[in-house]
Amino acid sequence: MTTTAGLAWAVKDSLVSYVEALADGVVEALPPASRSEAGFWFPLTDAGGSGVVPLEGALQFRGAIRLSGHWGALDVELRDPHVELDGRRGTLLIRDRGSRDPAAMLPFADLTLAEEAGDDGGAAPVEVAASLTGHGRLLLGGQYAVGEPLSPLRITLPPRHG
């Protein structure tokens, strides 16, 4: 069985539903991200060709989600998710769209591994709980409190070769 490495994330169901219900609401995945009934899929950036990616440290994913509506007043882009994990805790960062530095990232969510990651060679997805940070709150227009639960992330790593 071949498993594609990447990040599956529905962001926040109530937010996505709200935007889609707007008269001019648009929720879209920007390539290479894609969308399915389960949420959005972001492929894992090449891990340097080593074939080994630990579920600790930094993981970079590609693509974006764009939420827009209210005739331009709502325009949120969550681009190139970057996950940093240290043990069971971590941060989800997204590209800072308003920065002059194209590499600038903002901490969007605090992360907690929802389960112990097994040594299955990377084939099984690992669920990670997410809650909104202060930067994430501002990016979403202040409509949610810091610590507001978001949809969990599911990270699938490439199979380990060894």
Q: Which residues pair with 155 in a beta bridge?
A: 7, 126
pLDDT in tens, 22-46: 999 999 999 999 998 889 999 999 6
- Is residue 3's pLDDT more than 50? yes
- Is residue 2's pLDDT more than 50? no
Supply the pLDDT for residue 161. Answer: 57
Confidence of residue 1 (pLDDT cuts 50, 70, 90): very low
Instruction: Give the number of other Cβ atoms within 10 Å of residue 40's Cβ.
Output: 25
- In this structure, are residues 47 and 58 in contact, taking their beta carbons and an 8 Å threshold? no
pLDDT in tens, 70-94: 999 999 999 999 999 998 999 999 9
| b/e code 2-35 from CB counts within 10 Å (16+ = b) | eeebbbbbbbbeebbebbeeeeebebebbeebeb
